[in-house]
């Protein structure tokens, strides 16, 4: 054959294809494999252990959260009680200062400086006093 690539007058010969008598076909067959019972149990046990550990951790965090809330509540109560105690101490101090004036207004009199006040003894206390002297 002569120069055919650049010459349009020459018709190229078709390439003969050899076709086989049969066509090779591939078929993908997917078989479903079953997981053995022991492996299923192992997976189930693993999931159960993970769930148990996660629930334990969550329970502990919830307990810690509850303790923190109780601590904050107690600190708040302590602050309120301290404030109330300081108010009551201030009131006590003012009452101590005004008790003499109030008693005089009510009609009580102050005893002289060096006077002795006699208080009668109770019957039960005399026995104890006499036994302690012996």
pLDDT tens-digit map of 106-129: 998 877 788 887 888 887 655 544
Note every long-range contact of 59-63, with CB atoms under 8 Å and residues 24 or more positions apart, other chains counting: none
CA dist 71 and 60 (Å) reads 16
Better-scored residue on pLDDT, 25 or 5: 25
pLDDT tens-digit map of 33-75: 888 999 999 999 999 999 999 999 999 999 999 999 999 999 9
């Amino acid at each position: 054959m002569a120069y055919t690539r650049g010459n349009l007058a020459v018709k190229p010969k078709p390439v003969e294809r050899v076709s086989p008598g049969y066509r090779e076909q591939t078929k993908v067959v997917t078989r479903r494999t079953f997981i053995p019972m022991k492996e299923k149990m192992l997976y189930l046990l693993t999931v159960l252990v993970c769930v148990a550990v996660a629930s334990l951790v969550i329970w502990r965090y919830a307990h810690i959260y509850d303790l923190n809330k109780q601590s904050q509540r107690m600190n708040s109560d302590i602050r309120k009680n301290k404030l109330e105690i300081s108010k009551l101490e201030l009131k006590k101090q003012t009452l101590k200062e005004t008790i003499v004036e109030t008693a005089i207004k009510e009609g009580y009199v102050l005893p002289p400086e060096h006077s002795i006040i006699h208080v009668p003894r109770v019957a039960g206390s005399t026995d104890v006093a006499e036994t302690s002297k012996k």
